[in-house]
Chains A and B, each alone.
Chain A
Amino acid sequence: MTCNEIDQNSTFYFSHELDAQQSADFLAHLENCPSCAGKVRQQQELDHLLRSTVLSQEMDTRALEFRIRRELTTAPQRRIVFPRRLALIAAGLVLVASCGLVSSDWLRATREASAICADAIVDHRVEVTENAPKKWTADLELIAAISQKTVGAGINPEQFAPSGYHFQRARICSLVDKRYVHMVFSNGNQEISIFLRTRDSGALQALSWWNSRRLYQDVLGNTNVARIDGRKFSFVIVGDGAIPVSTLANDVAGRG
């Protein structure tokens, strides 16, 4: 093997892509050529530095894993649908639509609310229940300044503390693609999350009404979530166990 071939083959050698004869030739050349041996050693040192640096960067994938698993439960695998089945499905849809039982706005809004609530559950579980390290603040002035910048209104979290709860900390987060103020409140025993943003112009329709406010509710395992619109803000409330998130939602919505 020549020096030029060593240059070309060193990567193949270390990724075990050379056959036995080529590997033997490669090693034999290195034994007799200090220059090539030096270059190969330098390359290995550089590769080791790059690899060890990048691999030492640990990343918390729990939230991502949770979102992926949840999405997989609702996403069907692609299937080959036979024409007859297609025709049956199409007929069924026409029948249902013609009965006026389906509102496209309702479906779209429900899907959006569901996605927002799913994201909120993930954030609550990972960042509050499991205490994943995140940058929180309890500085009310800072929260007002940051929330003014990110959600368009200066927020005082204490204004939104439900009865029996006290403000603990807050941070800015994203649910789906929208910025929210994530506030944590405690009643001494448990912590709840309240996510807030200024209300969008196209308010989400809901499955039920609660004291004339639009409410969407869901549950995942032991975690309950409710999404509600107030006059000025939209809220998502997340709590574990028997916490009555619907009642809390109505309480909070009345304050904003």
Chain B
Amino acid sequence: MRESLQREAFEELAIPHLQVLLRIALRLTHNYAAAEDLVQESMLRAWRSFHQFQPGTNIKAWLAKILLNQWNTSLKRAERDKASVELNEEVAPPVEWLRNAHLETVDVMRAIDLLLPEYRVVLLLTVIEGFTCKETAEMLLVPIGTVMSRLSRARDQVKKYLNSCANASSKRANYSYDL
């Protein structure tokens, strides 16, 4: 009975953050099925460690940290999965979404996905998900200065990629105008 109350409390706190966790996991793994698996394993770990969670503290950061640890563990266990996306039905949701999106959206997502993992994860946590630099440093177990420098590099690389996309599309526009 006591455990079921604990479980209800955990679900009430943790389940609302599934979207955030899945979003981070998807940008890390580039594979929808792998992202779901990562989130599921992380939630199970979080449940098993729930007795260590201090009520009133940032549950989102706590869950994200567990997810990042789980991801690092899976990277160490196996090679990073760079499986080809060969009309895999399980990748469908984000791919289907991108098919209907404007070109600029595709470019932005690609710019993020092309970042080195250590830059990408900092960008995801700070810019996208709104964690502070201090929270991000604690989650990644690196100094704040490292977070700042990785974030700066991430922004520079994203800008560079998007500028090249913008140049490419303006060249295409000029060409069609000449026709």
- A contact residues around B123 at 8 Å (CB): 50
| A112 interface residue (CB < 8 Å to B) | no
| A134 interface residue (CB < 8 Å to B) | yes
- B contact residues around A76 at 8 Å (CB): 3
Nearest CB in chain A to that of B51: its residue? A77
Structural contact, A46 and B132, CB atoms closer than 8 A: no
Structural contact, A78 and B92, CB atoms closer than 8 A: no
Main secondary structure of the interface of B (DSSP, over half): helix
Contact of B10 among A53, A72, A135 (CB under 8 A): A72
CA distance A230 to B10 in the complex (A): 41
- B contact residues around A133 at 8 Å (CB): 96
- Given contact pairs A61-B18, A77-B47, A135-B96, a sample of 9 additional A-B residue pairs in the complex whose CB atoms are under 8 Å apart: A54-B108, A54-B109, A55-B128, A57-B94, A59-B94, A72-B7, A172-B89, A174-B33, A174-B90
- When each residue 158-173 of chain A gets 1 if its CB lies under 8 Å from chain B and 0 otherwise, what string results? 0000000000000111
- When each residue 205-229 of chain A gets 1 if its CB lies under 8 Å from chain B and 0 otherwise, what string results? 0000000000000000000000000
Give residues of chain B (1-44) contacting chain A, Cβ–Cβ below 8 Å: 3, 6-7, 10-11, 15, 18-19, 22-23, 26-27, 33, 36, 39-40, 43-44
Give residues of chain B (84-109) contacting chain A, Cβ–Cβ below 8 Å: 89-90, 92-94, 96-97, 105, 108-109
CA distance A224 to B36 in the complex (A): 25
**In whole Å, how far is A21's beta carbon from the nearest beta carbon of chain B?**
18
Which B residues fall within an 8 A CB radius of A? 3, 6-7, 10-11, 15, 18-19, 22-23, 26-27, 33, 36, 39-40, 43-44, 47-51, 89-90, 92-94, 96-97, 105, 108-109, 112, 123-124, 126-128, 130, 132-134, 148, 151, 155, 158-159
Q: Name the segment of A7-15, A30-38, A192-200, A236-244 touching the other chain.
A: A7-15
Q: A59-B94, A172-B89, A174-B90 are in contact. Are A46 and B18 (CB under 8 A)?
A: no
CA distance A101 to B130 in the complex (A): 55
| A84 interface residue (CB < 8 Å to B) | no
- B contact residues around A61 at 8 Å (CB): 18-19, 22
CA distance A63 to B23 in the complex (A): 15
Nearest CB in chain B to that of A68: its residue? B43
Q: A11-B133, A174-B90 are in contact. Are A77 and B6 (CB under 8 A)?
A: yes
A-B pairs with the 6 shortest C-beta distances? A53-B108, A61-B18, A15-B132, A78-B48, A47-B127, A54-B128
CA distance A47 to B43 in the complex (A): 29
| A29 interface residue (CB < 8 Å to B) | no
CA distance A84 to B8 in the complex (A): 30
Q: What is the interface residue range for chain A against chain B?
A: 35 or more
CA distance A106 to B94 in the complex (A): 39
| A17 interface residue (CB < 8 Å to B) | yes
CA distance A43 to B156 in the complex (A): 10
- B contact residues around A24 at 8 Å (CB): none
Structural contact, A51 and B44, CB atoms closer than 8 A: no
Structural contact, A46 and B3, CB atoms closer than 8 A: no
Structural contact, B18 and A50, CB atoms closer than 8 A: no
Give residues of chain A (61-79) contacting chain B, Cβ–Cβ below 8 Å: 61, 63-65, 67-69, 71-73, 75-78
Structural contact, A71 and B127, CB atoms closer than 8 A: no
CA distance A96 to B3 in the complex (A): 26
**In whole Å, how far is A13's beta carbon from the nearest beta carbon of chain B?**
11
Structural contact, B132 and A77, CB atoms closer than 8 A: no
Nearest CB in chain B to that of A69: its residue? B11
Structural contact, B133 and A50, CB atoms closer than 8 A: no
- When each residue 168-187 of chain A gets 1 if its CB lies under 8 Å from chain B and 0 otherwise, what string results? 00011110000000000000
Structural contact, A54 and B47, CB atoms closer than 8 A: no
